[in-house]
Structures are given as structure tokens and as C-alpha cells.
Chain A
Amino acid sequence: QKEVEQNSGPLSVPEGAIASLNCTYSDRGSQSFFWYRQYSGKSPELIMFIYSNGDKEDGRFTAQLNKASQYVSLLIRDSQPSDSATYLCAVISRETSGSRLTFGEGTQLTVNP
């Protein structure tokens, strides 16, 4: 089992729709969870991080964390073509790995005009 798993995608949504990106993790001791956006040929850009169960909202982005289910998601409301990118989920498990970020393989999102 991979440490961090994401829907492989690609995910395609129409402009204005809600895009839902999902991520599960295997280490129950994981503490912090991150979503990075990576445009083709560019570096990962931090969008949001979350460490408490529940929802965290920032503009059109909402991160959701459920530690009991070992599940974290990212919702993008009112999706725009500029949101088309690969979204990377990452986790930190400080007890076992210190500050190491473990990444999923990413989900490619396409928002169609």
C-alpha cells in the first residue's frame, strides 16, 4: 500500500463546477496535510494545509480532513480554466519521518471553458 494515494485522474470538470480531489494516507500518526498545485513545467505551489479534523476554507478552496478515515480532500468551487494543473497531496508524520513531506502521485485536473 502506498503511503499517500490520490485519484489518478485525469479529472475533467466544466468551468464553474466544483472540483473534488481526494487523498488517503496510511500512517495513522500523520499530523499535517498539504495540497500543492503544480502547473506543467513549474514547481509545486502550496495552496492549503490542514491539521485539524473538519473543514478549512480559503477563498474558492476548501480542505477537508477526517483523521478517523485517514482521508483528506480539496474542493475547488467555481472552477476556472486557470485551475487546470496537477494537484499533489502531501502529509507529514513527525513521529516517524520528522519534517519529511510524503507526496501522492498527483491528480491532473482540467477545467473546460
Chain B
Amino acid sequence: ETGVTQTPRHLVMGMTNKKSLKCEQHLGHNAMYWYKQSAKKPLELMFVYNFKEQTENNSVPSRFSPECPNSSHLFLHLHTLQPEDSALYLCASSQEAGTGFSEQYFGPGTRLTVT
């Protein structure tokens, strides 16, 4: 619907599992972002990649590990998560980060439940 796709759309995992979230953008953008959205909290920026280089890590715990192999793909590797990590994880892209801030295009999100 917006040129940014995310898989899976829903994920249930135990605290000892390892899983990965995938994001792909078909918009020719150079910046990609991971956000966490928890109930009744503002959207929290987690990571920013600009031209494949990580430019922002917003004090995210090491159990979340991002990977950006190219400007079109972004992954979020998850391991030994906690129940409080249950949330909607949103990926976004924009033309470029840090240039007066253009609009961001969001994927549909992955609803993660940690049991």
C-alpha cells in the first residue's frame, strides 16, 4: 500500500527464541528506520540507517540487533526478548536522513507478542 513492506505481519515468540523482522522498500530511498509502538506511548525511534550506515541507535537494548545490507532492505534480529518488548514494530523509509527531514513512508508493521 505504501511501497514499504514488512514481514511477518504477526509474530509470537518465546523469550528464548531467535527471530528476525524484515523490511523492504521499493521507493528508491536512502534512509530506513525502525520504530517501536507500544500501547499509549509515543512512537519510539529505535534505529536509523542512512546510505546503509547506522546513524542512530536510540539506547536500544542489545537483544535488538539491526542489519542493513543495502538501501532497500532492513532487518531487526531479535533474541532473548522480554514480555515488555511486545509491541508493533514499524519500519519506515525516506529520501535521506538528516536533511531538513523529508516525509517518511511506513510499512504496515509487525505485531510482536513475546510469551
Q: Are these two chains actual partners, yes or no?
A: no
Q: Hey, which bits of chain A sit against chain B, CB under 8 A?
A: none
